[in-house]
Amino acid sequence: ATWCGPCRMVAPIVEEIAAEREDILVGKINVDEEMELAVQFGIISIPTLVVYKNGEITKRASGVHTEEELLNLI
């Protein structure tokens, strides 16, 4: 969400990972614009990061994290 300070802190890190790691698919969703998707994934706090492998959720993390912490989720 554009009003979310922690989201704005994490966004550049996520974008950097997306640019550096061409072997993975990275996407961002604005929960204000995609409320149904947020409900579907049980998002209750933002930012929430969800990691998929082979079509299944393998890890979830909420809040602000360093690039190293986010890379460790992968």
Distance CA 59, CA 8 (A): 21
Contact (Cβ atoms closer than 8 angstroms) between residue 32 and residue 1: yes
Out of 1, 2, 6, 7, the active site residue is: 7
Out of 1, 4, 26, 29, the active site residue is: 4
Residue 4 falls in the annotated catalytic set: yes
Contact (Cβ atoms closer than 8 angstroms) between residue 49 and residue 57: no
Catalytic residues: 4, 7
